[in-house]
Amino acid sequence: MKTVTLYDTTLRDGSQGEGVSFTVEDKLKIVKKLDEFGVDYIEGGWPGSNPKDEEFFKRVRGLKLKNSEVVAFSSTKRHGIGVRDDLNIKKLVSSGVKTVAIFAKSWDFHVTDALEISLEDNLKLIEETVGHLKDAGLKVFFDAEHFFDGYNHNRDYALQTLITARDAGADLLVLCDTNGGQLTSRIATIFREVREELDMPLGIHAHNDSGVAVANSLAAYEEGAVQIQGTIGGLGERCGNADLCSIIPALKVKYGLGLPALNAGQLTPLYYYVMEVANLVPDNQRPYVGKSAFTHKGGIHVSALQKNSATYEHVPPELFGNKRRVLISELAGKSNFRYKLKELGFNIADFDQEKLKHLSKNIKLMEHQGYQFEGAEASLKLLVYREYKDYTSFFEVDDFKIISHNFGDETRSEAVIKLTVNGEKVHTAAEGDGPVNALDNALRKALNSFFPEIAEMKLIDYKVRVLNGNDGTAAKVRVLIETSDGEKSWTTVGVSTNIIQASWKALIDSIEYGLMIHKGKEKKKTRVE
């Protein structure tokens, strides 16, 4: 199969997505990650459009990139101004890059109604801009904006924009589905016809407004595209761009491209890194890299999976840095429980058929009551320990009460708890911003002298879900608490018609599990010594 270069536009087109705003530092961090991953081209931004991008291009020169080349982006020169006098073009040339991407209108409707110039004048803009940049010693990628719409509306003129760019010296012609409205069969047909008309390297830039940007990009590849443009996670304006996190695995596995320059095993970490920097919630169902991409819930699926993972997985998750997960729920069969117990570190030989049957029944009953262990594996592990192992809790809760004080617009809560730790009675009170915070503070205060490692445990997320809203304020709620010790994080769950009681259950489990894994570390350390 032919080779293809990958062009990442996360920092430019991706930043136009709703809720995305990269700082210069953010962009530099992502450049480093993309370079480590091995992307061929990284579109850094538009140096003439804003001070942030100007600073970025100044600072990116100081990075010693090993695999990637940074590209600067701009439109053609403005109508009525000489190409040497156009400020955008000046800044493009002085940006310090070796390759630039220039976009121009290829849809006659846009030329006459958006730019409000003649079709001939638009061709002159293309010719003069591309020619000037080539004279400046730059490699030029020509992005034909709205090309497919333009081709459908006025085939000859759309082709003429490409011919003009080619004749002016463009190194690559990129066909853009800017509105994302084209379906895959039409993309393939037009791409094939253009390739037959022009003896030039072609690229594809697809948007996802019809939900087929990845398919359109791959169809273009099949028809001869030598460059595919996209973003990490499909970030971008409106419905986003073609997702490189789906395109790269398809090229590597489905088309059999080696892609030796890419560190494919880091694709999932790269996705999560970009989402974190962008301050976006990762999409669990994102193909290849999502948390749920290789997650299995149905008992029949898991049973077959244990015999051969190819039964329900089209590629090995590890190939792209992901991992397999099996969920425990009311849909789970014995295979799920065996797999999950092994994954949680238990010896399957310790669980006979009767124990597995009892565990399955117990968990399904709890799920019926509102518990959900899919995202609360710490509580699941504690449940197994408490019921089937010779396990002694680190502390026992004897009693607790909450007192709230109202000071005008401010409410403070006080929690009083009674615990038994190593046979010793502990009676402690603490204040907090709310009842759950007060309970958390009191519990930590009571246990700190016995278990100093509690100081390392921080509550990093707290979620409440109403399970039966028709009951109003008497509704049952499910509380999920995520805790971290700086090295790893774990999630616990509590369910009750009383939100404080549900929170308390999840809080107790979070501290209990944290102590359990800490003691496990201590045992391993002792064995090593």
Tokens of 123: 């061709």
Does 301 qualify as catalytic in the annotation? yes
| Residue found by looking up tokens 């010594």 in the block | 529
Sheet holding 477-484, edge to edge: 458-466, 477-484, 489-496
Task: Burial-class residue 331 by CB neighbours within 10 Å (0-12, 13-18, 19+).
Answer: middle
Tokens of 219: 């169809």
Active-site residue, from 110, 146, 296, 301 = 301
Q: Nearest-CA neighbor of 142 among 114, 169, 124?
A: 169
Rounded CA separation 153/114 (Å): 16
Task: Burial-class residue 393 by CB neighbours within 10 Å (0-12, 13-18, 19+).
Answer: middle
Strand partners, 429: 416
Q: Do residues 272 and 51 touch, judged by C-beta distance below 8 A?
A: no
| Residue found by looking up tokens 């695999």 in the block | 67
- Which amino acid is located at 105 in the chain? K
What is the full DSSP assignment across 167-219? HTT-SEEEEEETT----HHHHHHHHHHHHHH--S-EEEEEB-TTS-HHHHHHH
Tokens of 449: 């002298």
Read off φ and ψ for residue 150, nearest 5 degrees: -65, -40
Q: Nearest-CA neighbor of 30 among 366, 279, 320?
A: 279
Tokens of 136: 């400046």
Rounded CA separation 511/453 (Å): 10
Rounded CA separation 299/295 (Å): 12
Read off φ and ψ for residue 398, nearest 5 degrees: -90, -40
Q: Nearest-CA neighbor of 76 among 45, 100, 96, 97?
A: 100
Helix axes 334-343, 353-369, angle to 10 degrees: 90
Strand 41-45 versus strand 69-75 pairing type: parallel
DSSP state of 292: T
- Which amino acid is located at 196 in the chain? E
Q: Nearest-CA neighbor of 381 among 340, 349, 416, 409?
A: 340
- Residues with catalytic function: 301
